[in-house]
Chains A and B, each alone.
Chain A
Amino acid sequence: MSQSTAPIVEFRGASKRFKAKNSDVKAVDNVSLSINAGEIFGVIGYSGAGKSTLVRMINALEPASSGTVIVDGHDLSTLGEPGLRTLRQEIGMIFQQFNLLQSRTVARNVEYPLEVAGVAKQERKRRVAELLEFVGLSDKAKSFPSQLSGGQKQRVGIARALATNPKILLADESTSALDPETTRDVLELLAKVNRERGITIVVITHEMDVVKHICDRVAVMELGKVVEEGTVFQVFSHPEHPATKKFVSTAIKDKPDPETLARLRGRHTERLITVFVHEDGGYGRRITDVLHDHNVRGGIVYGGISEIKQRPFGSLTWGLEGTDADIAAVIAELSQYTQVVDLGTSANPLDGFGYDIFTQEGEPADYVDHYAQAENQDSANPFSRFFGGKKK
């Protein structure tokens, strides 16, 4: 959806420190990041990772302690308070708790930023009507926020954030207080805002599903640092950092986790392999063709395929019956198209995912990848048990 690649927001070695009792806390630590005009950019991290602070550095609600933040060509540190106020009118923001004024009606809430911007009354009324129409709440104009559902409140929040025709919309955990169905509606609305109005959206979230649903690119934050950044497809298909892997696994449950794998081995004594599916190889049809060619019988025992940015993504775990030589040939041929993980048989299991739960000596799996590399970089990481295969 990127209409242009010019960065509209740029962090250059930006940090934000807060004074704590004994030492400073670095909420945002030396972050360099570019957000392109017209894209939906996700920032994902656990609570306390610094993502909320990071997003507030864009509208200078939290000014950077050091480094530079450039928004729409302005170095924020050179703008005084009046300059910042003007800039903020070009940056809409929506919040987890909606933050609507309880003492104002829906229409008057949407009108508020227009009052701040000094828009004439006639024009304000016209804009408010148009915005409420856009978010589908025209009939609630005279209601008070307390009379609305969570999803409706967030729609009012979005209408309010769009009132001044901003170039950027900051969404701070905007769906975290909503149920799954309402979340989907609100995300669709955000996608529509991006599509129809060309507004750059920065989405802060701790839910990978949100990223998967609407983002073009994503940055993963941990302890104030951006630990990984890339297109959503890249990050989902080749997560590098343990934190990223953890997030990806929450959104796509296709690979068997250790407990599931143990149950699979109990049910299926045959050879198990996991074949990754993405659009540049590993289609189901191709797998069955290869099996057929090598005289191997196989059935799917676990897995799932979903879409990320309209591209198929996932993995399938197969139970294969055939001679060792034939199966080895199958694996070799499939490996030319996609990633294949050999899990062995229940009698002779292989630690293909690097779960590291096997006690017996065995030839390490031929599954060599970045998981292991990331593990070597950060062996103290708690996620390594699931993702960072230690090779024996």
Chain B
Amino acid sequence: MITFQGGLAAATDWSQMGPKLIEELGTTLYMVGASLLIGGLLGLAMGLALYLTRRGNLFENAFVFNLLNVIVNFIRPIPFIIFITAMGPITQALTGTILGPKPAIVAMSVMTMMAFSRLVEQNLVSLDPGVIEASRAMGASRWRVIRTVIIPEALGPLILGFTFLFIGVVDMSAMAGAVGAGGLGDLALRWGYQRMNWEITFVTLLVIVAIVQAAQFLGNWLARRVMRR
């Protein structure tokens, strides 16, 4: 274990910190990836539900719409650092612990779901209702319309929204690190900030920026591919 005598002069031992950085990077990617997958799928479903139950849409249902709307509005404004601690009892029940990446994934997935559901809803609301009417007029069932019209027509913007979400989820993972989840956030806070090792702070920062850039690049490329019209 490296100990610092307090002071900027302390040189970082990268032979030890290198593997540590890789390990924490792995933890972060695990948390972010799992949350994006779970929260993304659930958020897509919830966003679709919000859109479809809206007035005038395929499954118009004021009760369901208002219920979902209230849930999203209730959870979304909660600052994540508070939300993740408040989720303690639930994560404890689900994962048996409140430490490590797994409980963090529960809270991150819920918040990701809420955020993505709004992004999905917004993208779908701007969809031309004419194409939906046209496919209904051709005899398509409502489920077919969702599968073959609504999602494909909005796919480009949905991918961009999902990419945008990625940054928010990395942000969440850093906060999760502050309350015991591990990962790059934890590394930057405990090894960088608390020990005033700016080198570690900046290296971690660069790694995070690199991940986000890679994700943005991938997202843009994918969106461009599906939107080649």
Contact = CB atoms under 8 A, between A and B. Distances in A.
Interface of A: 59, 61, 81, 84-89, 91, 93, 95, 97, 99-104, 112-113, 115-117, 144-147, 160, 164, 170
6 contacts: A59-B137, A88-B138, A88-B139, A99-B130, A103-B152, A103-B226
Interface residues of B, number: 21
Contacts, number: 68
A124 to B, nearest CB: 14
Interface of B: 128, 130-131, 133-141, 144, 148-149, 152-153, 155, 226, 228-229
Given A95-B134, A103-B153, A145 B229 contact: yes
B128 A86 contact: no
B136 A61 contact: yes
Contacts of B136: 61, 88
B229 A103 contact: yes
A144 B229 CA distance: 5
Nearest to B149: A101
A152 to B, nearest CB: 15
A334 B145 CA distance: 63
Contacts of A116: 135, 138-140, 144
A204 to B, nearest CB: 13
The DSSP consensus for interface residues of chain B is helix
Nearest to B140: A116
Contact of A61 (B133, B153, B155, B229): B133
Given A112-B148, A146-B229, A99 B140 contact: no
List the 9 closest pairs (A to B, CB-CB), nearest first. A88-B139, A99-B134, A99-B130, A144-B229, A113-B138, A93-B137, A85-B139, A89-B139, A103-B152
B137 A112 contact: no
Given A102-B153, A103-B226, 10 more contacts: A61-B133, A81-B141, A88-B138, A93-B134, A95-B130, A99-B133, A101-B152, A113-B138, A116-B139, A146-B229
Contacts of B149: 101
